[in-house]
Chain A
């Protein structure tokens, strides 16, 4: 029974890989999950700036939303990519942050922690929906240092000022830059220079051209120096003589 399960699983994995490969081969593009594609498209959208906000205190707002029946259960989109043109226009230091909206809503249980204000006039209700009490961050927070709205934070600062203290205080979520941000990896198609039919050593040399520090670091890490039993080597469970630090072939 277990065997059959495994076989089915293998078949599924292979089919998926094959489909992706065929898709990439025929279209020349990499397959992107629909949720990711939607999030990327959404991140590019720019909405008109909210000029005036409804003045209400944090507690008052929270209570009012509660009375209206607006809660985290109303979350429609659970996954965003925080990659706004407002930020990219002035700097491109890190890759975009992948933000799990649904999870954050469920964890905090209170929309108003992030959606702390709303436009003075609420967007009216559409076919049976509740009137819109929350808006996307970039509806209010756009370019930094707008002289007409000096007290308003730019989008980047709005994100950081909301995220960092919360992660610190709750001891939850990443606490370092790279914990949230993807590395801004430049397109290696333009960087890598290899002859046609390059051999393995040429490829390694080309990697080392830029990543020498990483290579040195690796040679001092367990990935390079491990020795001892491995859960994946049969019949040698107690042997300490095997491993990359001893008998196994070391290569990149």
Chain B
């Protein structure tokens, strides 16, 4: 059998059809589910005590850190969340000074932003990462094949990989303490322990209103921007700051969700496995044709020999 141009287009059309009937909820549908949980991190309230790091370590049974949680000299260098810690607090000197003219530090807690339209989940070919309606971007280790596409896709460079664990490596990132609020109606461990309520836990719409109220009530205290309201299509973790976000290590990101294009291409390619099926059909066709050719060629040679 030879694959003709017409047949190729027929197959492609079947593939495209399956994309249209794909059961994955569209972005609009996901937005409508809307009132999911979120956290508002008001960096102007953060005192850099690192209790959130400690609480996160304890609730997730993460390994003991090299330096104790009350060691504040860790602030001397910038840190990133990694396979051993889901959240870190960093110190920044933006040039802000207090009444006495002394430099004042700003502290910023970072962790997975739990994007509304997560790039990591779009990049994940097996669906090991998925956005839950409650707001959390969930990682399912049983589906993960360790390709680490998520690490490359995440605009915030959050997912980390357990390179030190050769047998059962996992992708590691903040899980939003999802079980805390789904099972026990409690706030995430970091929000609960924070002494100053620098982390407020609640529904995203409520927190956005709250953030806007704070911006309006204390205009001199805050940069008039809510980081995460629109960045990367919106995130569940929102931030307020005293100084421009750029000075606190925040990336300037476009407001359209980054994964739309990659997701469209990838999910069109992989849904119902039509593209590998097509590829193998194509390869099979070529093999079949070549064999048919060779057969007839040999016959020709043989007949030539005889004559």
Contact = CB atoms under 8 A, between A and B. Distances in A.
Nearest to A93: B193
16 contacts: A91-B193, A144-B187, A144-B192, A145-B187, A145-B200, A150-B206, A151-B214, A153-B197, A154-B197, A156-B195, A156-B197, A157-B196, A157-B197, A160-B195, A164-B196, A177-B49
A150 B202 CA distance: 8
A144 B203 CA distance: 14
Contacts of A157: 194-197
Contact of B207 (A91, A150, A160, A177): A150
B89 to A, nearest CB: 15
Interface of B: 45, 47, 49, 51, 70, 99, 186-187, 191-197, 200-203, 206-207, 209-210, 213-214
Contacts of B207: 150
Nearest to B70: A177
Nearest to A145: B201
A151 B210 contact: yes
A242 B213 CA distance: 68
Contacts of A121: none
Interface residues of A, number: 17
Interface of A: 90-91, 93, 144-145, 147, 150-151, 153-154, 156-157, 160-161, 164, 169, 177
A146 to B, nearest CB: 9
Chain A interface, DSSP helix/strand/loop, else mixed: loop
A186 B102 CA distance: 40
B193 A150 contact: no
A164 B194 CA distance: 14
Contacts of B202: 145, 147, 150
Contact of B200 (A90, A150, A169): A150
Contact of A151 (B49, B186, B192, B213): B213
B102 to A, nearest CB: 11
